Amino acid sequence: MNKSQVLQFYTEYTPNTDPFSLGYLFDELPDDLGELCKLIKCQLIHPAMVKKVRHLLTSYTKNEDEQFYTVQDMLEALVERNANGIIGERLPRERLIVSCRFHSLLLISMLRSKGVPVRCRVGFARYLSEHQLKYIDHWICEVWSEGEARWIRVDPDIGIVDLQGDDFLEAGVAWLMARDKEINPQLFGVKKSWGMHYIRNNLCYDLHAVLGQELRYWDYPPICQKGIDELDFEELQLLDEVSMYLQDPDANLEELQALFLENEFLQFKG
């Protein structure tokens, strides 16, 4: 694929980001990325932030990730809780309590409604860790800037536009660094789950997201159902190859698609 074909690929809705009949809710969205992030936070609450607004909530006080899969699912629930749709004055009790995956999917859907190339990236954020000593499981977006001719990293959950440096490490980068013993894999994960298996899982999620299938956290391709010590040499080499290609999806999109199709244990078919 040439660059224009790659960018076109990332302007097209995936099944999980298509608003379908509720696309009209995006008719009057702002163009500014910062304003879009603010608007998303008016619709969604990350489960980690519930304790700060619990007194303003009613029956929706727990993580609702399992209630939704697609943007269409989310939009239907938002309209049910407040028929005015995507609004800045939505009350906390009318919002969805969902994690970073859903924040990213909503931004993707909004931007693709405008014809802007955008994709989800799965990895680890150091800025979410106390004292920035660890890398926390996180999903963000890469948004194509036509004016600057580059991808801009945007975190719609935290509201950061144009993430720089290694504050966010894509899962493939983390995998190769850990494989080369440049970094301790136990620094990567969340809550009580840390290590190489977590990096491997996020690597597969990132691969799926780049190819247009944004999985949920509990959607495990066959290769993610094996222990790290159970992976054979060829499987490890394949994950290394995927990791290298994912460092530049624009140049390697066809190679990633081919590897994915040739290796069923990378595919989630749930």
Euclidean distance between CA atoms 223 and 227, whole angstroms: 9
pLDDT in tens, 82-115: 999 999 999 988 999 999 999 999 999 999 999 9
pLDDT in tens, 175-231: 999 999 999 999 999 999 999 999 999 999 999 999 999 999 999 999 999 999 999
Residue found under tokens 């394949």: 238
- The pLDDT value recorded for residue 60 is 56
Mean pLDDT estimate for the chain: 95
> What is the longest distance spanned by two Cα atoms in the chain?
54
Euclidean distance between CA atoms 22 and 58, whole angstroms: 26
Confidence category of residue 56, pLDDT binned at 50, 70, 90 = low
Confidence category of residue 121, pLDDT binned at 50, 70, 90 = very high
- DSSP string of the chain, one letter each residue: --HHHHHHHTTSPPTTT--GGGGGGGTT--S-HHHHHHHHHTTEE-GGGHHHHGGG-SS--S--GGG-SSHHHHHHHHHHH-TT-S-TT--GGGSEE--HHHHHHHHHHHHHHTT--EEEEEEEEGGGSGGG-SEEEEEEEEEEETTTTEEEEEETTTTEES--TTSEEEHHHHHHHHHTTSS-GGGEEETTEESHHHHHHHHHHHHHHHHT----TT---GGGGS-GGG--HHHHHHHHHHHHHHTSHHHHHHHHHHHHHH-GGG----
* In the predicted structure, residue 58 carries a pLDDT above the cut 70: no
pLDDT in tens, 222-270: 999 999 999 999 999 999 999 999 999 999 999 999 999 999 999 998 7
